[in-house]
């Protein structure tokens, strides 16, 4: 029947013993909690991707899927995007708020793609894929995402760095700046603390701390 000569030499399932690598697949299927929003989104994304593979010409097996195919998938998704990305010849290239419409294409925003890849990457391993062969974690995919981020940041005039918290109280102190520039660090808290007058529920505490949690990029 099947004259596969040497095709099935490396069966990915054969090496899966309990002591093979020690990476237990964290039995998540039996969790009693209802699926979170993230989980259901992840499932939808995964099904979308499987459907994409199915419709691929020629059909593409998941086991043969590479980073290049993942990038192809991301490009395919661009046609459903809603984010205006100006081409370099557009007069609004680099403008965050163009005054009138232009003919530039709509694409998937970098943030959407980045989050999508994160979910698919997790889904791949939860569905039995091996981490070391995870196409969503492949280097070309990371590079592609970085290029998309930088390209969109330039085209849309929006730096994709964590925005600093607006310090709207700073303006109140500008009159004093000339006198003592060194005191610039102090005012926000001092003013707010005095204003709140007793409701110390952390209105000031949460403001300054969130600046360090920026590193969602690549590991």
102 counts as binding Zn ion under rule CB under 5 A: yes
86: contact with Zn ion by CB under 5 A: yes
Q: Which listed range, 10-18, 97-105, 131-139, 159-167, lies at the site for Zn ion (CB under 5 A)?
A: 97-105
Q: Centre a 10 Å sphere on the Cβ of residue 115 and count the other Cβ atoms it contains.
A: 15
Number of H helices, E strands in the chain: 7, 2
Any contact of residue 104 with Zn ion (CB under 5 A)? Answer: yes
Contact pick of 49, 73, 92, 124 for Zn ion (by CB under 5 A): 92
Q: Give the number of C-alpha atoms closer than 13 A to the C-alpha of residue 114, restricted to the C-beta side.
A: 16
C-alpha 174/C-alpha 34 separation (Å) is 52
Classify residue 157 as exposed, middle or buried by CB count within 10 Å of its CB (0-12, 13-18, 19+).
middle
CA 47, CA 209: separation in Å to the nearest integer?
Answer: 38
Q: Is 158 in the site for Zn ion (CB under 5 A)?
A: no
155 binds Zn ion (CB under 5 A): no
Regarding 90 and contact with Zn ion (CB under 5 A), the answer is yes
115 binds Zn ion (CB under 5 A): no
**Residue whose CB is less far from Zn ion, 56 or 95:** 95
Q: How far is the CB of 96 from Zn ion (least distance, A)?
A: 12
The answer to whether residue 207 forms part of the interface with Zn ion (CB under 5 A) is: no
CB of 101 to Zn ion, least distance (A): 8
The residues pairing with 83 across neighbouring beta strands, listed in sequence order, are: 107
Gap between the Cα atoms of 111 and 66, Å rounded = 22
Contact flag: residue 77 with Zn ion (CB under 5 A)? no
How many chain residues bind Zn ion (CB under 5 A)? Answer: 5
Instruction: Return the range that interacts with Zn ion (CB under 5 A); candidates 56-64, 66-74, 101-109, 166-174.
Output: 101-109
Closest separation between CB of residue 88 and Zn ion, Å?
Answer: 10
CA distances (Å), 96 to each of 89, 146, 168, 197, in order?
16, 20, 22, 40
Q: Which residues of the shown chain bind Zn ion in the complex (CB under 5 A)? A: 86, 90, 92, 102, 104
């Amino acid at each position: 029947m099947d004259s596969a000569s040497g095709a099935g030499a490396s069966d990915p399932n054969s090496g899966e013993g309990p002591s093979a690598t020690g990476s237990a697949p964290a039995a998540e299927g039996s969790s009693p909690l209802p699926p979170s929003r993230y989980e259901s989104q992840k499932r939808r994304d995964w099904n979308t991707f499987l459907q994409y593979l199915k419709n691929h010409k020629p059909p593409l097996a998941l086991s043969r899927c590479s980073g290049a195919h993942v990038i192809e998938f991301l490009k395919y998704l661009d046609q459903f995007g809603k984010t205006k990305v100006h081409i370099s010849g557009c007069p609004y290239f680099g403008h965050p708020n163009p005054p009138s419409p232009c003919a530039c294409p709509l694409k998937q925003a970098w943030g959407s793609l980045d989050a999508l890849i994160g979910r698919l990457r997790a889904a791949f391993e939860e569905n039995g894929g091996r981490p070391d062969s995870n196409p969503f974690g492949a280097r070309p995919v990371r590079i592609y995402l970085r290029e998309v981020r930088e390209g969109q940041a330039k085209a849309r005039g929006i730096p994709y760095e964590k925005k600093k918290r607006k310090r709207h109280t700073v303006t109140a102190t500008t009159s004093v700046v000339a006198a003592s520039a060194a005191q610039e660090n102090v005012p926000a808290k001092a003013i707010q603390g005095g204003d709140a007058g007793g409701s110390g529920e952390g209105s000031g505490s949460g403001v300054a701390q969130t600046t360090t949690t920026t590193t969602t990029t690549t590991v």
